[in-house]
């Protein structure tokens, strides 16, 4: 990944350095074509909406997650590599064999101890649902009123009136 001088307002670029990657969304030079890395705003030519493209809330983690998910599930309708897209669509066994060959070859370049996450490990983790306390929205008369009592407000108003009387 390379980050432009205006990051996070401009998207980083992403390029594979492994030679020979054949993937529908990877150009022959290794550059990646993915919506999240396209400049912000709607693009009438590609049909991408602004919410599919880069915004300042994205970070390295969201980009890497998107890349890994795209590697597992290519977008073949708008390919960067038309030949790979056609091979993926029409001859999946050959595509899979070619992809396996590239992965096997490139694993020799990975430093020892580095572990790549699987798609299953990237799946969103379900969050614990906290049940709302109905009493929060329907307080009883016994509940504390953190704003003070109404009788205190009357004392405040009387003090203001007394100050006005002193000025006259």
Measured CA to CA, the distance from residue 11 to residue 23 in angstroms comes to 22
Q: Is 33 among the residues known to form the active site? A: yes
Residues 21, 26, 32, 33: which is the catalytic one? 33
Cα angle 155-159-162, degrees, rounded to a multiple of 5 = 140
Measured CA to CA, the distance from residue 34 to residue 72 in angstroms comes to 13
Task: State the alpha helices, DSSP H only, in the chain.
Answer: 60-72, 82-90, 92-107, 119-122, 134-137, 150-167
> Residue 122 in 3-state DSSP?
helix
The structure tokens 């795209």 sit at 70
Residue 66 · residue 18 · CB < 8 Å: no
Catalytic positions: 33
């Amino acid at each position: 990944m390379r980050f432009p001088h205006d990051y996070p307002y401009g998207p980083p670029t992403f390029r594979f350095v492994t030679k020979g990657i054949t993937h529908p969304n990877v150009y022959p030079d290794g550059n990646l074509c993915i919506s999240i890395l396209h400049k912000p705003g709607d693009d009438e030519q590609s049909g991408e909406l602004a919410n599919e493209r880069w915004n300042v809330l994205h970070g390295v983690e969201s980009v890497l997650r998107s890349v890994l998910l795209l590697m597992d599930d290519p977008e073949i309708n708008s390919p960067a590599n038309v030949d790979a897209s056609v091979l993926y669509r029409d001859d999946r066994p050959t595509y899979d064999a070619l992809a396996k060959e590239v992965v096997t070859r490139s694993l020799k370049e990975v430093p020892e101890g580095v572990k790549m996450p699987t798609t299953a490990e990237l799946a969103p983790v379900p969050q614990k649902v906290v049940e709302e306390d109905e009493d929060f929205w329907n307080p009883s008369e016994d509940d504390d009123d953190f704003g003070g009592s109404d009788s205190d407000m009357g004392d405040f108003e009387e003090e203001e009136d007394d100050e006005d009387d002193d000025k006259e």
